[in-house]
Structure 1
């Protein structure tokens, strides 16, 4: 029975990977042409990783996995709620603040002290923002910091 659960999960994740990858192809072509890195690159990479992981689950399921119970289910629900909130807050708050809140909350739920958890979120938000903006030349939403964009 448990192997069947892994296979069902693998098939569902594979469907998600295909849909996510297809959605990434719907982005408009970047100004530099088809050869430049555009906004669809990262989602396409994620779709490929998800598809490969899904295929692994389908082909080689875990023989002895048990569904989580009790507190673990609650923590999983909290993690999903944080990720949904992250997507909803990304545009209005901006990447840095939304990432600070999401990563900080997830680190805290995994046992880190609150101050350390949110400092990790702040560092992650700033470092990833700078990496995407300056190394990859991909724009991330600034949200409340959008006043800095005009300067």
Structure 2
């Protein structure tokens, strides 16, 4: 069964390289190469993903098995939610898209619906404020841009 981890590790390594390359395609931020720009966070994620993938390839779990039944269905739902999140990020904006994605994932993991979506809303607002004010990185507001006066 170690082959499962190695195959997954190789796929994730390919994803890490593609994701890291995509991060280098962002335009250079105003202020030069020393400043933190929109490519910084994706590059860090790509490096962490690459290192994790290499670990899976070199030292796979000896007794893992592919999920079956309900667990496989939940994983497929999670992937579909994340795909929908990426597609809705621009039109809905970061806060609403995050509310829906995190809320749905929390609900699928067993949280009560109201608590799940409150968690999603709080996560969306907190991360938006962190990126906007602490990191000075713009996240899309989408339909909430009306509040901004645009």
Q: Distance in 2 between matches of 1:103 and 1:33?
A: 34
Indicate the residue corresponding to 2:12 in structure 1: 13
Indicate the residue corresponding to 1:58 in structure 2: 57
Q: Distance in 1 between matches of 2:84 and 2:14?
A: 23
Indicate the residue corresponding to 1:72 in structure 2: 71
The answer for unaligned runs of 5 or more in structure 2 is none
- 1:31-110 superposed matches below 5 A: 31-110=30-109
User: What TM-score, normalized by structure 2, do the two folds share?
Assistant: 0.98
Q: How many residues align?
A: 150
Q: Distance in 2 between matches of 1:52 and 1:11?
A: 11
Which aligned segments of 4 or more residues in structure 1 are displaced greater than 2 angstroms?
A: 148-151
The answer for unaligned runs of 5 or more in structure 1 is none
User: What TM-score, normalized by structure 1, do the two folds share?
Assistant: 0.97
Q: Distance in 2 between matches of 1:145 and 1:7?
A: 43
